[in-house]
Structure 1
């Protein structure tokens, strides 16, 4: 709106009505939000620092109970770990990891699972939002050793310096903020152990309700869609969300499905879409879907359709093809 676009233009294709935005109980699913991001980038992608501007609007209070849980955590490390544990309850589209080695810590953001058109925007937005949250937790910015982005700069260096208090490196291997590991052990000024425990109980309840609302299978399907290239195991997904593999498997069985069935379903759906609408080669599609080799993908595709990916495409001459 601040950039001059009508609200209807930003909501195009999202199934969100302008009047609904006044409802404080409205829940917008990730697909709807991603469509709005697509519209924003399409309309204003040439605005310098669009992602930085968007990220600066996300404050601790924006996240509700998740933000309050961070504020009341005992240390910065515990705030980061809790934040990542319940990242599904936030607006972030990046996959975020905390990595530590030889006295250095890094917050690494991966956006490879997103459509190429929005990756740079999301990486800048989420990196900026994290920087704002860190600043609000301490009241000052902790010094970064380095800020890196996998893409070329989208704004004057002065905008990046104002956000990150350093000059980022671009066209690097990772989207990553690096800092001294010792900062993770700093106590937070508003820590409160009782409040922190209460918040975590509430966050766990929110996450459970979100999973149950559409069923565990719908939740897991969305997890796989977001991370299909690495095809995380059921055990890893269960561990990441603090439940046992047995519990997660039992819930899926109750809903009449299994991890293997959902993984096959997601791969089949995405294979058809990638082959017919992106122009990616069979080898590239195989990699995107997490297969160990193109031959393994071709074998699976033949089981689904009774023909090879190339034969499948040959029956659709109107679609984009690429050898």
Structure 2
């Protein structure tokens, strides 16, 4: 759960030994009843968990991501709107920017309803994601010595070139030029 989030439930859990405590305790810990007296000890993950970046496995990187996210969150408007709720949700898992359907489900609404509510505030989901990525990118470029490749990965880009292209679109310059401009100032 530390790597995949509090709502993570393995698809299967197996133990070689027989049940040792009440079934409810296993369900509490694993979210499901394990198979006992199996030929192996195993925890199987759902296939979609492979799509979730596990940045938290490096405690220093996770701490940095959380700190930077908290900084940005502090700058956000005090008004508690659906836009703020979406931003908050996106900042909870550093480096993981799920699709609108996933966020809508977490907010107990359909993707269509979330799109409509965001439109009422004059913003789209992708704009929120891009704004957060741009803010985080500036934070990482200004406040760390991380390589561009690392920053791209932290922002959910599989290819640093895609990150560089997006950053140029957001700021008018390449990430390295942005960082160099800071050191000249």
TM-score with structure 1 length normalisation? Answer: 0.37
Distance across 1 between alignment mates of 2:117 and 2:178? 35
Could you say if the C-alpha distance between residues 113 and 306 of structure 1 is closer, same or farther in structure 2, counting changes exceeding 3 Å?
farther
Q: In structure 2, how many angstroms separate the alpha carbons of the residues matched to 1:217 and 1:111?
A: 25
Q: Distance in 1 between matches of 2:180 and 2:90?
A: 28
Q: Distance in 2 between matches of 1:217 and 1:239?
A: 15
Q: Report what 1:116 is aligned to.
A: 60
Question: Residue 313 of structure 1: SS of its match in structure 2?
Answer: helix
Distance apart, 1:100 and its partner CA: 3.0
Could you tell me whether the CA contact under 8 Å between 1:235 and 1:244 is conserved in 2?
Answer: yes
Query: 1:30-74: CA deviations, max 9, x gaps?
Result: xxxxxxxxxxxxxxxxxxxxxxxxxxxxxxxxxxxxxxxxxxxxx
Displacement of 1:249 in angstroms is: 0.9
Alpha-carbon offset, residue 229 of structure 1: 1.3
Listed as ranges, the matches of 1:69-108 within 5 Å are 95-96=5-6, 97-103=8-14, 106=30
- Given the superposition, is the C-alpha separation of residues 229 and 252 from structure 1 closer, same or farther in structure 2, using an over 3 Å criterion? same
Q: Matched residue of 1:316: which SS?
A: helix
Classify the secondary structure of the residue corresponding to 1:98.
Answer: coil
Segments of 5+ residues of structure 1 without an aligned counterpart are 1-83, 85-91, 120-212
Counterpart of 2:168 in structure 1 is: 302
Q: 1:100, 1:106 within 8 Å by CA — same for their partners in 2?
A: no
Q: Choose from 126, 139, 147 the match for 1:273.
A: 139
Q: Which protein shows a greater Rg?
A: 1
After TM superposition, the runs of 4+ consecutive aligned structure 1 residues lying more than 3 A away are 102-108
Residues 248, 265 of structure 1: alpha-carbon distance in 2 compared, 3 angstrom cutoff: same
SS at match of 2:11: strand
TM-score, structure 2 as length reference:
0.62
Aligned residues: 135
CA distance in 2, matches of 1:226, 1:270: 13
